[in-house]
Amino acid sequence: MTYHIRTEAGVEFGPVTANQLRDGARAGTISRRDLVRPDGSVDWFRADKVRGLDFSAEIVVADGLGVKAETPQLLTPPQSLTPPQLPVARANPNDALLRHIEPLVLRGFNVRKLEGEEVVAIDTQTFLDTFRVSIAAALIGRRGILVLTNRRLFIANATISTRSLQSVYLERIDRLGFGGRISLAYFLIGILLALTGSAIAFGSGVIAVATGGAYGLAPNIVAVPLVAIGVILILLARLRALEIGVASANIIYAKRSLDFDTLARIDEARDAAITSRSG
């Protein structure tokens, strides 16, 4: 996982690795008031809010009122506004910043990294993709995410609880597929609603003809919405998804248009994991 940094002077630089970020904070080249943004995210966080960063290099002195105040840092002269040279990274197994997969942490899943595990690719569902899986989840802003590392594949599908996470080791993937699927629940409910609405409209018309009365609008007020909702559900029943086959079950990730680069990365990472395992 890499990060971007914005200093107090407004200078942005990156990407830097988690090791470099930690050592930069420890050496004092990154201030606790600087902003940090994980790669792939649009949110900035104060550096002192990032877990695992140690700012012990910042000198703290007491002012005249007996309150501790940080020594102000000198701004870099305009003619030399270049990213600071961060120290060479030194691995620290106890560093919390290095022990979690950041894209999943941002979604509420505290998944720890395996030794040597790094994020390779990230893919997020669109509103329409989520709508085909869960209408309620889409309307409240949930989005599914796919995170590929060099060791595992994670899929967090959009749900109301946001606690649905599936993972699989790359070497255990038997097959990969991408194509159309039918959501049986959406299809059956859509058929039922469409037939019910049609029956109401047709039945009221037959009754009106048989009795010689006027055809009322009241049945159509109920029938038309039912037919419309049924047709929409039938159309949404067909979705495109990535299907990952493992020994026990299939893992589904609904995505209308999945980048071929993402598929290639999954395949390459799987081959590399199998080769490493067998070697």
98-110 confidence digits (pLDDT tens): 578 888 888 778 8
Mean pLDDT, the chain, integer: 75
Q: How confident is the model at residue 45 (pLDDT cuts 50, 70, 90)?
A: confident
Model confidence band, residue 6 (pLDDT cutoffs 50, 70, 90): confident
Q: What is the mean pLDDT of residues 196-223?
A: 74
- Confidence at residue 74, expressed as pLDDT on a 0 to 100 scale: 39
Determine which helix (DSSP H) or strand (DSSP E) holds 278, and give its type and residue range.
helix 260-278
Q: How far lies 249's CA from each of 144, 181, 193, 218, 274, in Å?
A: 19, 16, 32, 49, 20
Question: How far apart, in Å, are the Cα atoms of 164 and each of 154, 171, 184, 242?
Answer: 11, 22, 20, 17
pLDDT band at 232 (very low <50, low <70, confident <90, very high): confident
Position 216 scores a pLDDT of 62
Higher pLDDT, 154 or 34: 154
Q: Average pLDDT, stretch 185-200?
A: 87
